[in-house]
Structure 1
Amino acid sequence: MPDPATYRPAPGSIPVEPGVYRFRDPHGRVIYVGKAKSLRSRLNSYFADLANLAPRTRRMVMTAGSVEWTVVTTEVEALQLEYNWIKEFDPRFNIRYRDDKSYPVLAVTLNEEYPRLFVYRGPRRKGVRYFGPYSHAWAIRETLDLLTRVFPARTCSGGVFKRHNQIGRPCLLGYIDKCSAPCVGRVSAEEHRRIVLDFCDFLAGKTDRLARDMEQQMLAAAEELNFERAARLRDDIGALKRALEKQTVVFGDGTDADVVAFADDDLEAAVQVFHVRGGRVRGQRGWVVEKSGESGDSGKQLVEQFLTQFYGDQAELGGAADEATNPVPKQVLVPVLPDNAEELAEWLCGLRGSRVQLRVAARGDKRALAETVQRNAQDALAQHKLKRAGDFNARSEALQSIQETLGLADAPLRIECIDISHVQGTDVVASLVVFEDGLPRKSDYRHYAIREAAGDGRSDDVASIAEVTRRRFQRHVADVERPVVEDGKARRFAYPPNLFVVDGGAPQVNAAGAVLDELGVTDVAVIGLAKRLEEVWVPAEPDPVIFPRNSEGLYLLQRVRDEAHRFAISYHRSKRSKRMTASALDQVPGLGEHRRKALVTHFGSVARLKSASVDEITAVPGIGVATARAVLTALGGTPESVPSAGLGEDDQQTVSPMTDGGQ
Structure 2
Amino acid sequence: MTELAAGFSDNIKNALAVLPEKPGVYLMHDASGKVIYVGKAVVLKNRVRSYFRNLASHTPKVKAMVAKIAEIETIVTSSEVEALILECNLIKKYRPRYNISLKDDKTYPYLKVTVQEDFPRLYVTRRQLRDGARYYGPYADAGAMHATVKLLRSMFPLRTCRKMNPDRPCLNYHIKRCLAPCAGYISKADYHKMIKSVCMVLDGRTTELERDLKQQMQEAADNYAFEEAARLRDQLQAVARLNEAQKAVTNNGGDMDIFGLGQDMTGLCVQLFFVRKGKLIGRDNFFLPDGGDTPQEVMTAFVKQYYNEATFIPKEVVLPYLPEEDEKQLIETWLADKAQRRVELLLPQRGVKKDLLKLANENAVKLLNERLRKGSLSLKNDLQAAEELQQALGLEHPLERMDCFDISHTQGSETVASMVVFRNGTSSKKDYRRYKIVSAEGKPDDFKSMQEVVYRRYRDYE
Deviates more, 1:303-312 or 1:284-293: 284-293
Q: In the alignment, what sits opposite 1:380?
A: 367
* 2:313 counterpart letter in structure 1: V
Q: In the alignment, what sits opposite 1:85?
A: 90
Q: In the alignment, what sits opposite 2:395?
A: none
Aligned length in residues: 385
SS in 2 for 1:124: coil
TM superposition shift of 1:255: 0.8
* 1:337 counterpart letter in structure 2: L
Identity of aligned residues (%): 33
Q: In the alignment, what sits opposite 1:170?
A: 170
Q: In the alignment, what sits opposite 1:65?
A: 70
For the residues of structure 1 that align with 2:280 and 2:36, how far apart are their CA atoms? 38
Relative CO higher for 1 or 2, CA cutoff 8 Å, sep ≥ 6?
Answer: 2
TM superposition shift of 1:180: 0.6
* 2:128 counterpart letter in structure 1: R
1:122 is the counterpart of 2:121: no
Larger Rg: 1
* TM-score under structure 1 length normalisation: 0.49
For the residues of structure 1 that align with 2:373 and 2:284, how far apart are their CA atoms? 20
8 Å contact from structure 1 (residues 261, 271) kept in 2: yes
8 Å contact from structure 2 (residues 102, 306) kept in 1: yes
Q: In the alignment, what sits opposite 1:652?
A: none
SS in 1 for 2:247: coil
SS in 1 for 2:126: coil
1:347 is the counterpart of 2:343: no
Q: In the alignment, what sits opposite 1:264?
A: 263
For the residues of structure 2 that align with 1:100 and 1:278, how far apart are their CA atoms? 32
TM superposition shift of 1:334: 1.1
Over aligned residues, Cα RMSD in angstroms?
4.3
- Structure 2 gap segments, 5+ residues each: 380-415, 435-462
8 Å contact from structure 2 (residues 205, 276) kept in 1: no
Q: In the alignment, what sits opposite 1:235?
A: 234
Q: In the alignment, what sits opposite 1:304?
A: 300
TM superposition shift of 1:212: 3.4
For the residues of structure 2 that align with 1:81 and 1:175, how far apart are their CA atoms? 50
SS in 1 for 2:196: helix
For the residues of structure 1 that align with 2:195 and 2:205, how far apart are their CA atoms? 14
Change (3 A) 1:116 1:47: same
For the residues of structure 1 that align with 2:422 and 2:277, how far apart are their CA atoms? 59
8 Å contact from structure 1 (residues 264, 298) kept in 2: no
TM superposition shift of 1:103: 6.5
SS in 2 for 1:328: coil
For the residues of structure 1 that align with 2:225 and 2:182, how far apart are their CA atoms? 29
Q: In the alignment, what sits opposite 1:195?
A: 194
Task: Provide Cα deviations, 1:549-585, integer angstroms capped at 9, x if missing partner.
Answer: 9599x956546x88xxxxxxxxxxxxxxxxxxxxxxx
* 2:168 counterpart letter in structure 1: G
TM superposition shift of 1:310: 1.8
SS in 1 for 2:364: helix
* 1:98 counterpart letter in structure 2: K
TM superposition shift of 1:89: 3.4
TM superposition shift of 1:60: 2.5
Task: Provide Cα deviations, 1:230-277, integer angstroms capped at 9, x if missing partner.
Answer: 555443322221122233222221211211222235783222222222
Task: Provide Cα deviations, 1:150-196, integer angstroms capped at 9, x if missing partner.
Answer: 53222x343xx65xx3772431x422433212233322455434432
TM superposition shift of 1:210: 4.2
SS in 1 for 2:7: helix
8 Å contact from structure 1 (residues 257, 277) kept in 2: yes
8 Å contact from structure 2 (residues 140, 286) kept in 1: no
* 1:32 counterpart letter in structure 2: Y
* TM-score under structure 2 length normalisation: 0.67
- Structure 1 gap segments, 5+ residues each: 315-325, 393-530, 535-547, 563-663
SS in 2 for 1:335: coil
1:30 is the counterpart of 2:35: yes
* 1:175 counterpart letter in structure 2: H
For the residues of structure 2 that align with 1:181 and 1:65, how far apart are their CA atoms? 61
TM superposition shift of 1:140: 5.1
TM superposition shift of 1:359: 1.6
SS in 1 for 2:368: helix
Task: Provide Cα deviations, 1:77-135, integer angstroms capped at 9, x if missing partner.
Answer: 542343343234332222221388696654323344432223x2634344443345667
8 Å contact from structure 1 (residues 4, 62) kept in 2: no
Change (3 A) 1:11 1:76: closer
TM superposition shift of 1:144: 5.1
SS in 2 for 1:371: helix
Task: Provide Cα deviations, 1:300-340, integer angstroms capped at 9, x if missing partner.
Answer: 212221122222233xxxxxxxxxxx522221111122112
Q: In the alignment, what sits opposite 2:248?
A: 249
